[in-house]
A and B are shown apart, each in its own frame.
Chain A
Amino acid sequence: MKKLEQITDDAYSVDHPLYDSPEYRSTALRSPKKPLLILPHTLSELSGPAFGEDDVAELDSDLTRQHEGEPLGERIIVTGQVLDSLGKPVRNSLIEIWQANAAGRYVHKVDQHPAPLDPNFTGAGRCLTDAEGRYRFVTVKPGAYPWRNHPNAWRPAHIHLSIFGRAFTERLVTQMYFPGDPLFPADPIFNSVRDPKARERMISTFDWETTTPEWALGYRFDIVLGGPGATPLEEPHG
Chain B
Amino acid sequence: MAKLGQTPSQTVGPFFFFGLCVLPAANELVTPDVKDAIVISGRVLDGAGEPLPDAMVEIWQADAEGVYRDNFGWARSGTSADGEFSFVTVKPGRVPGPEETLQAPHLTVLVFARGMLKAAQTRMYFSDEAEANAEDPVLNGIEDERARASLIAGHAENGFRFDIHLQGDRQTAFFAI
Question: Chain A: residues with CB nearer than 8 A to chain B?
Answer: 1-4, 7, 12-13, 15-19, 21, 24, 26-34, 36-45, 47-50, 83, 85-87, 96-98, 100, 106-108, 110-111, 122-124, 160, 162, 168-169, 171-175, 189-190, 192-193, 197-199, 201-202, 222-228, 230-231, 233, 237-238
- Is B34 an interface residue when CB atoms closer than 8 A count as contact? no
Q: Which of B142-177 contact A (CB under 8 A)?
A: 142-143, 147, 166-167, 171-177
Question: Chain B: residues with CB nearer than 8 A to chain A?
Answer: 1, 3-20, 22, 46-48, 50, 52, 54, 58, 60, 62, 68, 70-71, 73-74, 95-99, 103, 106, 108, 110, 112-121, 123, 137-138, 140-143, 147, 166-167, 171-177
Residues of A within 8 A of B175 (CB): 36-39
Interface contact A26-B16, CB-CB below 8 Å:
no
Interface contact B6-A44, CB-CB below 8 Å:
no
Minimal Cβ-Cβ distance residue in A for B3: A85
Interface contact A27-B5, CB-CB below 8 Å:
no
A168 to B142, CA, bound (A): 22
Known: A3-B143, A192-B117. A108 touches B17 (CB 8 A): yes
Interface contact A17-B20, CB-CB below 8 Å:
no
Cross-interface CB contact of A225 among B6, B48, B54, B117, cutoff 8 Å: B6
Q: Main SS of the interface on chain A?
A: loop
A17 to B10, CA, bound (A): 8
Interface contact B142-A4, CB-CB below 8 Å:
yes
Interface contact A45-B177, CB-CB below 8 Å:
yes
Cross-interface CB contact of B18 among A26, A36, A47, A123, cutoff 8 Å: A123
Interface contact A29-B167, CB-CB below 8 Å:
yes
Interface contact B10-A227, CB-CB below 8 Å:
no
Interface contact A34-B52, CB-CB below 8 Å:
no
The smallest beta-carbon distance between B122 and chain A, in angstroms, is 9
Interface contact B98-A174, CB-CB below 8 Å:
no
Cross-interface CB contact of A30 among B52, B97, B110, cutoff 8 Å: B52
Known: A21-B117, A39-B175, A40-B97. A16 touches B167 (CB 8 A): no
Residues of A within 8 A of B11 (CB): 24, 173, 175, 189
Known: A17-B117, A17-B118, A98-B19. A30 touches B6 (CB 8 A): no
Cross-interface CB contact of B176 among A7, A31, A96, A171, cutoff 8 Å: A7
Known: A43-B68, A44-B108. A124 touches B19 (CB 8 A): yes
Interface contact A39-B71, CB-CB below 8 Å:
no
Residues of A within 8 A of B58 (CB): 168, 171
Interface contact B4-A87, CB-CB below 8 Å:
yes
Known: A42-B103, A169-B177. A16 touches B9 (CB 8 A): yes
Cross-interface CB contact of B167 among A32, A123, A172, A197, cutoff 8 Å: A32
